[in-house]
Structure 1
Amino acid sequence: MNWTTTLLAGASLLLSGCLLSQEARVESDYSYAGQFRRYRTYEFVSGEGLNADSSRLGEAVRDAIRSRLKVQGYHLARRRPDLLISFRLFEGDMRFRGYQQEDFTKWVKNGYTEDENTPKDARKGYQPVRLLLSEGTLLVTLIDNRSNRAIWNGYASGVSVPPGPRGEVVLRRSVRSIFDQYHVFTAGYLNGQSPAGSDED
């Protein structure tokens, strides 16, 4: 199964069928192939929508992500970053396919990683769940730059962005809630070590 294709399709398509919940939520799912202990640097993906938005709303999201990742030891890197970060704001209600998985923090702490050498009978497998995310959803995706595969999705529903400064507050708060799901500090950061190869503090 191509996990990346499934993940991105689930993020962008409205799915039909039985829904598990209609309540606003903040959740995440992840790839078992993610090398979460290895990542130290990042860069934002440029593109359409909010990613390319140079207005205060787009910058509010980028600034909130930068602030949170700095606290966790990550550095912005223009050249060969470990992670690429994409984000997108969906308006209105959205049917979304997530995954029922082991707690992400526990997965990372135990150091598990699957790759092409992992025996088929030892692989975890992805158990999809269908959700209804209401009143707007902010989706943040982390992509492994080396493999070009999405390795983590965080999403917050109930994100209705009013005009003006209030909209910036809503987006910053949503980013904080999303990254509360991503409890990964860079290797050595808590011991006072700084990542090598960063272009910008």
Structure 2
Amino acid sequence: MVATGCAQQSGVTVGSDQAGRANTASGSMYPAPANPNSPDFSQYKTYSWSSQITNSQNSVFFLNDLLFKTMVRDAVEHEMAAKGYTYQPTGGDLVVNFRSFDQPTEITSNDNLGTGYWDSTEPYAYAGERKVQLDKGSILLQMIDRKKGVEIWHGYASGLTDGNVFDKNKDKVYVAVGQIFKEYNHRADKL
């Protein structure tokens, strides 16, 4: 995966990364050839939550706040529906997971995401050949191809802070999640 960059919007930094994206930063005026490892986003129509999202008692990856976890999940559900995806309790084409970080962090592997972030029945690999730098007050969203067990896309919003604490204002969280999805240029329907 190659980082697609990031944008600063209303005090929040947003970025994303897609599997197999050709590196166009070479300075060439000719488009890079298609990458054979690129996922076919047209095949994804449904999604399911990862096990730690559906576990109603798990709040460890959400600042130990079940209300905040629900708020982010609802915002992501709204954006997935707006992109034409259908939720399935199990067996969706995509497995969706998210995590919040109140302190700056650098993610280089699944180990950096925390034990139990992916359940033992969800052996999804994080593409460790690149790093993601997150500022304090970040939400990281990941989409996994369930059949292949690989991350196909992730997006993040950083800077959700009010002074030195994570800002859990519902409106700001919904705006941040919406900004993450502006970076996701795919739909499940043909609109």
CA 42–52 in structure 1, closer or farther in 2 if over 3 Å, else same: farther
Quote the residue 1:181 is aligned against.
183
Q: Which amino acid aligns with 2:82?
A: V
Does the CA contact (< 8 Å) of 1:57 and 1:171 recur in 2? no
Equivalent-residue separation in structure 1 for 2:51 and 2:107 (angstroms): 23
- 43-52 or 131-140, which moves further after superposition? 43-52
Quote the residue 1:156 is aligned against.
157
TM-score normalised to structure 2 length: 0.61
- Give the superposition deviation at 1:176: 0.7
- 1:115-147 deviation line (CA, Å, top 9, x unaligned): xxxxxxxxxxx984x664322211000000111
Equivalent-residue separation in structure 1 for 2:65 and 2:91 (angstroms): 23
Structure holding more strand per residue = 2
The answer for unaligned runs of 5 or more in structure 1 is 8-22, 98-125, 191-201
CA 127–44 in structure 1, closer or farther in 2 if over 3 Å, else same: closer
Identity of aligned residues (%): 26
Equivalent-residue separation in structure 2 for 1:52 and 1:136 (angstroms): 10
Structure holding more helix per residue = 1
Partner SS, residue 62 of structure 1: helix
CA 86–53 in structure 1, closer or farther in 2 if over 3 Å, else same: farther
- Give the superposition deviation at 1:77: 0.8
2:91 is the alignment partner of 1:91 = no
Partner SS, residue 37 of structure 1: helix
Equivalent-residue separation in structure 2 for 1:55 and 1:143 (angstroms): 23
Does the CA contact (< 8 Å) of 1:53 and 1:59 recur in 2? no
Quote the residue 2:18 is aligned against.
30
Quote the residue 1:170 is aligned against.
172
Count the aligned residue pairs. 137
The answer for unaligned runs of 5 or more in structure 2 is 3-10, 21-36, 53-57, 109-127
Quote the residue 1:137 is aligned against.
138
Equivalent-residue separation in structure 1 for 2:103 and 2:70 (angstroms): 22
Partner SS, residue 25 of structure 1: strand
